[in-house]
A and B are shown apart, each in its own frame.
Chain A
Amino acid sequence: MFDFDPFFDNFDEILNGFAATLRLAAAAAVLSLIIGTLLASFRVSPVPVLRAFGTGYVNVLRNTPLTLVLLMCSLGLNDILALKFSDTTSTSYYWWAVLGLSAYTGAFVCETLRAGVNTVPLGQAEAARSIGLTFTQSLRIIILPQAFRAIIAPLGSVFIAMIKNTTVAAAASYAEVALVTKTIVDKPTFADGVIPLFLGVAIGFLILTLPTGYFFGWLAKRMAVAR
């Protein structure tokens, strides 16, 4: 039963699947960081319309199951409304998966960052205003840089969750490692060894997520603001 041959027999396919997972996770990390930062800026801004938009966005995206978000992107927007990123089907699905996952993760990044903003003493913003910085300047130069340093470790958790959430993109027709694994199991020639196969993929995820956690932990220590 614990013969890992089924895993190694399909090693190339699984490796390709992980590569696809990695492409999705990396792009979503960057994009969700941008979306989350923008949303957090909206939510702490003095403009009521922006605040309302930020709050509304977070409440909708954070409370919608990711599967639904991704299905909406692939089936709804890509297939039915034919909003395609590319003529190549797989490329279009990829970008919709990136967008859906980032839109969803961005809501969590926003809330984490907002918690970080609350760790920055009020006096920092007052000092920034007192030397004549505008709201946007003090947010960009004084508040957000300190907020980011405070949330590096929890941001690592958000990204680990995001890396694992890439498996849901299988539902959106994007061939990342979970979909590849399912395809292997569904092959008529695949006799048994589902558990070793799954264990192998699980270890693959550990190889992605454990260093992520350690990296963010290390970075958090290194970048901590001394007060």
Chain B
Amino acid sequence: MTEFTPWMSLAGGVLIGLAATILMAFNGRIAGMTGIMSGVIPPLSADWAWRAAFLAGAVIAPMIYVALGGVVPFSAPISTMAMIVGGLIVGVGVSYGSGCTSGHGVCGIARFSPRSIVATIVFMLAAFATVFVIRHVIGG
């Protein structure tokens, strides 16, 4: 079980939306992790520097939060093999789908992009179905 955290989750969501707004206002870019990351995987894109800066900020922020006494619950209730298989599939999927939760689910839908609306519905349904099969069909 994990604790239901509506207020912290809502606050976190608002910050994610704020980050997307800042990146659009100053850099004119979508805050999508797939797209931002793809430019720093060799061969580097010409505009790799702002991408690296965004990624560095995203990694450092939780470190600062924890150093200041914040608590970030973490638990990965799956095997290492499942982590590897899941990671590989996510990597291929977000590349072909041109985006993930941040790019399609937040930034894309916020712009009312039909592609992003379709992508988000598909990956959410696929994830619900996958967890159902793993936990209640295979594991049940």
Do A and B truly interact? no
B residues in contact (CB < 8 Å) with A = none
A residues in contact (CB < 8 Å) with B = none
